[in-house]
Structure 1
Amino acid sequence: MLPERRGDVFILTATLLASAGWLFSKEALGGLPPAGFVGWRFLLAALLLLPFCYRHLRSTAPILLLKAAAIGLVMTLNLIFWIQAISHSEGIGEGAFIMSLAMLMVPPLAWLIFKERPQRQFWLALPIAVLGLFFLTMGNGLSLSLSQLLFLLASLSLALYFNLNSRFARRVHPMALTCIQLAVTGIMHLLYSGLFEQWPEQILPVTWGWFAASVLLATSLRFVFQSMGQKYSHVANAALIMMLEPIWTVLISVFWYHEPMPIQKIFGCLLILLALLSYRSRNLLDWYRSRRALQAANKR
């Protein structure tokens, strides 16, 4: 198998694991407090990654480690909104599509914080995404349900995290950066859980099974596959494959939770997907042109 094809398979596997992670989290929350679940999930995932990035952590300047930890606080905020949204939602498919809007929230935040004007593709995709969000949430009239509002806040905080992390990630090894931020997120959630949450006296074995799947499969193994995939897969191709995550999540939610998907919700999901594709159209077009040019050069 060609390296690029192998990379695409790794990215696709990571996307499937990420979608399954929504299910694992939702089921684990049936027996665990939200912040405690996230805290232990991310702290254990960081400890699993530590042997693979210990050398990089030791060679990184302390000031960079502190900045990485500070960005981890933004990830903590994102996870607070996300896990609370999951705990208040009946399904997970709708939330996955709302969360996918984070990609379209990155440009306006970059414009607001870093004075970087959005590209033309963003202004074309924005009204499509807004219309899609309207159809997705119109079951509540002109108001958002609590879970929808929390998912929207999670999407906004994720876009803030992307903006900050993308400008810092090149200065720290990616695995070391991820390990630090996972650890910070886990520790902060555990502190909150210890202060404000009540843990059940008995936790069923099936709950621990869902928790283990969240740590091992949806967090640690997913990161490994994603890192391996990004090493070989073209960035535009990887971005296109990763857009499939909300689709897999909807399918899981419809199958597992029997989440209702009336026609307006389906139409809203399709509009959001169209907005994401149109926003990525320039990268996809550049990738297609480079592939054609490379094929033409090989024939000579």
Structure 2
Amino acid sequence: MINTQSYRGELLILLSTMLAGIGWIASKLVILEVPGETFVTARFLLASIILIPFCFKQVFALRFKQVLSLCTVGLVLAASIEVWVYAISISNTLSVGAFIMSLAMIIAPFISWLLYKISPPRIFWLTLPVTCIGIMLLTLTDGWIIETSQWFFLLSSVLLSLHFVLNKQVLNSVKPLTSICVQLFMIGSVGLIVMLIMSPESVHLNSHILFWFAVSTFVATCIRYLSQTLGQFSVKIEKASLIMLLEPIWILILSVSLLGEVVEAQKLIGGGIIILSLFIYIKLQHKPPVAQTVVATQKP
């Protein structure tokens, strides 16, 4: 007999990966004409305002310690988002960046080991060399030269992994949607501070920019995180993580079809190896890793 609730949850998570892929494309198209700090500020502040009606009682009921924890974790996520937006703004290969960002699932157990002395499972050490081979094939296409954007994608992935680990602790006492709303507000607030410091030039808006901004904010942020949150309530962590591996695949398809990106065979093989290593890691580990329990903060 089919578990209808689980099946619906899987479809919601699948939808969230597709919306995340659309978010990458929308973000790239917006920041081609709008400063990254302005985009981050407007997108995430507006997203938090849209979500607050669904959890305002829980937000105002938070204790000071919980608010402090959420703000701290939100700052880490904000740093990851700021670096990610900059990487997108200077990158010509979104698909490569997406595969690099997917490494957060592999990096997170290592960070957990450093911070909390939680030893990664044996399969982590077995898949790590395979992942490194994938990275080499993905990035080293012109000799031993790595593009600047790829370094920033890697830094963003490391920061996202740190967020995964810290957010794991926060979610033990705060509901996911409440955590999402507060952290999105923190991202927008940090973006506002950066924007004021940088003093960007005035932005000339047009229908093209507004359309993709709306897609990025409503579709790729609000609806995406809500569908992911609802889906993970009824789907096992391992299965949810496997479905979410599809995100860089969608980004690859969209970047090739909409942005005209050309992906060499070597990069495709490298990306495939990374996805394979993540698949093996999820399927064969004995304990669910920290990175698989996060609801709200994968890549934008």
SS of equivalent to 1:170: coil
Instruction: Give the letter aligned to residue 62 of structure 1.
Output: F
Asked if 1 retains the 8 angstrom alpha-carbon contact of 2:44 and 2:185, the reply is: yes
**Residue segments in structure 1 that go unaligned for 5+ positions in a row:** 287-300
| Number of residue pairs the alignment of both structures matches | 286
Instruction: Give the letter aligned to residue 38 of structure 1.
Output: V
Which sits farther off after the overlay, 137-146 or 156-165?
137-146
Distance 1:167 1:285, change over 3 A: closer
Distance 1:182 1:134, change over 3 A: same
Which residue in 2 is equivalent to 1:178?
180
1:229 to 209, 228, 231: 231
Which residue in 2 is equivalent to 1:47?
49
Aligned residues with identical type, % of pairs: 36
Asked if 1 retains the 8 angstrom alpha-carbon contact of 2:48 and 2:181, the reply is: yes
Which deviations, in whole Å up to 9, do the C-alpha atoms of 1:144-185 show, x marking residues without a partner?
211100000000000000011111211111111111111011
TM-score, with length taken from structure 1: 0.92
Which sits farther off after the overlay, 202-211 or 246-255?
202-211
Alignment of 1:108-257 (within 5 A): 108-257=110-259
1:98 to 81, 97, 100: 100
Asked if 1 retains the 8 angstrom alpha-carbon contact of 2:121 and 2:285, the reply is: no
Instruction: Give the letter aligned to residue 132 of structure 2.
Output: V
Q: How far did residue 285 of structure 1 move?
A: 11
SS of equivalent to 2:127: helix
Instruction: Give the letter aligned to residue 187 of structure 1.
Output: S
Regions of 4+ moved over 2 Å = 282-286
TM-score, with length taken from structure 2: 0.92
Instruction: Give the letter aligned to residue 53 of structure 1.
Output: C
- 1:280 aligned onto 2:282: yes
Which residue in 2 is equivalent to 1:292?
none
**Residue segments in structure 2 that go unaligned for 5+ positions in a row:** 289-300
Relative to its length, the structure with more helix (as a share) is: 1
Distance 1:140 1:149, change over 3 A: farther
Instruction: Give the letter aligned to residue 60 of structure 1.
Output: L
Asked if 2 retains the 8 angstrom alpha-carbon contact of 1:236 and 1:283, the reply is: no
Report the aligned-residue RMSD: 1.5
Instruction: Give the letter aligned to residue 122 of structure 1.
Output: F
Q: How far did residue 91 of structure 1 move?
A: 2.9
CA distance in 2, matches of 1:141, 1:60: 52
CA distance in 1, matches of 2:114, 2:238: 26
Q: How far did residue 199 of structure 1 move?
A: 3.0
SS of equivalent to 1:141: coil
Asked if 2 retains the 8 angstrom alpha-carbon contact of 1:43 and 1:183, the reply is: yes
